[in-house]
C-alpha cells in the first residue's frame, strides 16, 4: 500500500503544476485578448482538475498531505481541492 501512496503524490503534484500553468495561460490570454491562450489555459485547468481528482480519490488527506502549506497554496492559486485537502491534513498536525 505504501507504493500506491508514493505513486499518488507525484500525480497530485503534477496536477497542481498543470493547473497553475493553465491559470497562467488563461490570465495571459485575458490580458492580451488572445482566445487561443485563454482556451488552452482553460483546457489545461480542466485536465489538471480531473487528474488531481483521480489521484486524490485514493489518497487519505488526513495521513498524507502538506497541511497548512498545501492549504495556503490552494488559497493562493485558487485551487479549491488543494485548499480542502490541506485543511484536512492540517487538522492532524
Indicate if 68 and 55 belong to the same structural domain: no
pLDDT in tens, 5-38: 444 456 777 888 898 899 999 999 999 999 999 9
Same domain? For 35 and 74 the reply is no
Compute the distance between CA of residue 36 and CA of residue 3 in angstroms, rounded to an integer: 39
| Residue 43 lies in domain | 1-59
Q: Pick 37 or 92 by higher pLDDT.
A: 37
Q: Are 34 and 59 in contact (CB under 8 A)?
A: no
CA distances from 59 to 45, 74, 85 (A): 21, 17, 10
pLDDT tens across 33-84, in order?
999 999 999 999 999 988 888 877 766 655 555 677 778 887 887 777 777 7
Q: How many domains does the chain have?
A: 2
Residues 10 and 53 in one domain: yes
Amino acid at each position: 500500500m505504501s507504493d500506491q501512496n508514493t505513486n499518488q503524490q507525484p500525480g497530485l503534484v503534477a496536477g497542481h503544476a498543470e493547473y497553475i500553468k493553465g491559470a497562467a495561460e488563461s490570465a495571459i490570454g485575458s490580458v492580451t485578448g488572445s482566445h487561443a491562450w485563454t482556451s488552452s489555459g482553460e483546457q489545461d485547468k480542466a485536465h489538471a482538475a480531473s487528474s488531481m481528482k483521480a489521484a486524490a480519490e485514493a489518497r487519505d488527506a488526513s495521513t498524507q498531505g502538506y497541511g497548512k502549506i498545501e492549504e495556503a497554496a490552494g488559497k493562493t492559486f485558487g485551487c479549491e481541492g488543494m485548499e480542502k485537502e490541506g485543511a484536512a491534513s492540517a487538522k492532524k498536525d
